[in-house]
Structure 1
Amino acid sequence: MTDQSKKQAMDALSARAVRGEISRRQFTQLAALVLAGTPMLLRSTGAFAQAKELVLVNWGGDALTAYDAAYGQAFTKETGITVKMDGSGPTEGAIAAQFKSGAPTWDLVDVDPFSAITLGAQGALEPIDYAIVDKKKMREGFGWEYAASTYFFSYVIAYDSEKYGKDAPTGMADFFDVKKFPGKRSLYKWGVSSWEAALLADGIAPASLYPLDLKRAHDKIAAFKENVVAYWGGGAESQSVLLNGEASMAIVWSTRASLIEQDSGGKIKFIWDQGLISPGALAVLKGNPGGKDAAMKFIASAQDPQKQLVMFDKLGQGPANPAADALIPADKKRINPVDPENMKKQIALDMDWYAKNYGAALDEYTKIISA
């Protein structure tokens, strides 16, 4: 395991300990295995996949109940297969650790497509069976060899509207401007969006963003560190850092931004301007205990536009199936990342760039924010 993979695996393990899912003794034993390079992180803990059971790993918080309501319960009714939700966070390192253990306990993971490209090349993921999963139920170009898009989301600026009044931020330059917009900030622990935000704030035009100038981005991020109160690693953490007032402004997933706005009674708002839009996808672990075909059938079931509408209602996920677009009520289009009015304000993340560069970029980013 690489140092970064170990760190991600340890973070996932620590999260389980905090939630009381494992004892202190179990944490100590498993941590020793991870640090020794034996990726046994989840072999003795959490949700175990048995016969007639699938384990789907996502980013926790509200996503646990949303995925169960939209997809899990329906799939169980359709097939008799129980679906357990695990919110420990399917980072690239944690997925790799599952595969390298030789006995994965996860079946399905909510994964960034660029991570799926990398992990698939390592043999960690099953190729998507497009005889079961229907490419016609995806937007064109969003079905990959090792992952199938099931939703869209964006990295957006969320901010305290009471603190800033009518002077709402209008882009990444405002996020980095603590004179015009005083207060603490929060950035994503795993790098994605932080590089783009720094470069946009530094004057790079959206059309010239890729390939990312990492040195310039890291210089900007390093100089801004004193203003960052937290680097969030999962959805629940990104919500709490704004709701508890720890940060006045944060770059968060649009899926969580809409929930934060709701939970705060409109105090925390968000903008689409210079948002960074990305597909979310499901992938299947190589050798998953619940069976490859069952996992593929789950992905196919999740393509149903009515089910994706439930996910939109509960979590603000933009539908991957274009047939769901017409089902979104007019008064809710403003929170849909793939609505044309919102899309035109945003920039698409470059999946190919990330597939080639993410690992090294994240290592350098982690050194900077940890120093």
Structure 2
Amino acid sequence: MKEKQEFLEDALMVAAERMKRGRLSRRGFNAGLAALMGSAVMGAARRAHADTGRVVVVNWGGDAVPGFQKAYAGFGEASGLELLVDGSGPSEGAVKTQVNSGAVRWDVCDGEMYSAYRLGRDELLEALDYDVIDKSLIDFGDVHDHGVANYTYSYVIAFDTEAFGDRRPTSWKDFWDVETFPGKRTLYRWMSANLECALLADGVAPEELYPLDVDRALAKIEELLPHILTHWATGAESQQLLRDGEVAMGQVWNTRAALIKEDTGGRVDWTFDGGIISPSVWMVPKGNPGGAKAAMDFIAYALRPEVQVKLMEAYAMGPVSAAANDLLSPELALANPTSPENFGKQVLLNNKWHADHYGETLERYLALIGA
């Protein structure tokens, strides 16, 4: 859960940085803030009742609140419904509490895909109406009765070109190879994608990753621990570590990797080779206050290719639709995890496996790294 919150907040920081660098207009960035200022206060979202004429979308807070307002600002005009964004975080526990108490506050959740599988199995989510939602638009990520992919991002390899001469790492095996590619490393402090990276480094073929061999993955991570300077906690920290030369190689979000390359004039480069694509999800709590139709209408709107493009333009969150990819500029296509030239180099994270094993595996991972 914390991983999603940190990534969304970081994506908005990236957008602000892009604006400073002249790659995003101030007018475009501020549109979301203006939309938020013009909306009712957050408390109104919590007092919503059935068929209110509004849709309350919950994400993980911070700058992600105005960010969603910006990306989905056209929903009101398209639907006649008011959009409110709640940043209190759709954790599994919160969804369970609301549904079981009959006091549901949210209509649509931007959650973890593996949570959608679990909550759906527990009959805590509305079944999605695929007569309203066009599931044919989903080319990358999960589609099931209780959840549908909404955007993607990748965990990629970034590296200091001056540390390795003419050699360029192109795999997680290279990332673990401290003899050929000497220098300190950094990994994300949470488990997301780390087990997959470790197994790929240990020679497991991408098509044979799942079910994950947790013992083997943790042993491989333990092998690298003496060479890990730190486990980064924020995107800004990962950027600083590579920019300042504190580490020679890092596992980072693709959104940050692009900024690091720009920061350093290409001294730090990065690759989608071996990247782990993580799809997020739209899901609807059972008994949502605005009614099932309003929730389905919002999801259908958010999945329109042109709306997915708006999200990519501002925050580099990759589309889940090939049709959206076709609308991207050449520059954005290069940075898009799901572009044809990038997708085939990567592995799509298997959320069904994480739905069944995440909790106990995370405890073992955090104990290993001392977090």
Return the TM-score normalized by structure 2.
0.74
1: CA distance, partners of 2:265 / 2:276: 25
What's the secondary structure of 1:199's corresponding residue?
helix
Residue 254 of structure 2 is matched in structure 1 by 254
2: CA distance, partners of 1:304 / 1:93: 30
Residue 26 of structure 2 is matched in structure 1 by none
2: CA distance, partners of 1:171 / 1:65: 36
2: CA distance, partners of 1:225 / 1:94: 35
Report the CA distance shift for 1:95/1:261 in structure 2 as closer, same or farther (over 3 A): farther
Q: Establish whether residue 243 from structure 1 lines up as the match of residue 237 from structure 2.
A: no
Residue 353 of structure 1 is matched in structure 2 by 353
| Unaligned segments of structure 1, at least 5 residues | 16-44
Q: How many residues align?
A: 326
Report the CA distance shift for 1:211/1:136 in structure 2 as closer, same or farther (over 3 A): closer
- Aligned 8 A contact 1:48 1:55 in 2: no
Residue 331 of structure 2 is matched in structure 1 by 331
1: CA distance, partners of 2:228 / 2:128: 39
1: CA distance, partners of 2:204 / 2:212: 10
Amino acid at match of 1:270: W
2: CA distance, partners of 1:253 / 1:96: 30
What's the secondary structure of 1:54's corresponding residue?
strand
Tell me by how many angstroms 1:216 deviates.
Answer: 0.9
Deviations 1:303-337 (A, max 9, x none): 22111111111222222233222212233322121
Amino acid at match of 2:349: L
Amino acid at match of 1:304: R
Report the CA distance shift for 1:187/1:146 in structure 2 as closer, same or farther (over 3 A): same
2: CA distance, partners of 1:68 / 1:325: 22
Aligned-residue sequence identity (percent) comes to 37
| Unaligned segments of structure 2, at least 5 residues | 10-41, 49-53
What's the secondary structure of 2:239's corresponding residue?
helix
- Aligned 8 A contact 1:308 1:324 in 2: yes
Residue 182 of structure 1 is matched in structure 2 by 183
Report the CA distance shift for 1:263/1:48 in structure 2 as closer, same or farther (over 3 A): farther
Residue 83 of structure 1 is matched in structure 2 by 84
Residue 309 of structure 2 is matched in structure 1 by 309
What's the secondary structure of 1:212's corresponding residue?
coil
- Aligned 8 A contact 1:159 1:249 in 2: yes
Return the TM-score normalized by structure 1.
0.74
Report the CA distance shift for 1:184/1:85 in structure 2 as closer, same or farther (over 3 A): farther
C-alpha RMSD over aligned residues: 3.4
Tell me by how many angstroms 1:214 deviates.
Answer: 0.6
Tell me by how many angstroms 1:46 deviates.
Answer: 8.4
Residue 220 of structure 2 is matched in structure 1 by 220
Residue 70 of structure 2 is matched in structure 1 by 69
2: CA distance, partners of 1:46 / 1:200: 46
Deviations 1:98-150 (A, max 9, x none): 55665344433223323211121123322212232122332288421111122
Report the CA distance shift for 1:120/1:65 in structure 2 as closer, same or farther (over 3 A): same
Report the CA distance shift for 1:258/1:54 in structure 2 as closer, same or farther (over 3 A): farther
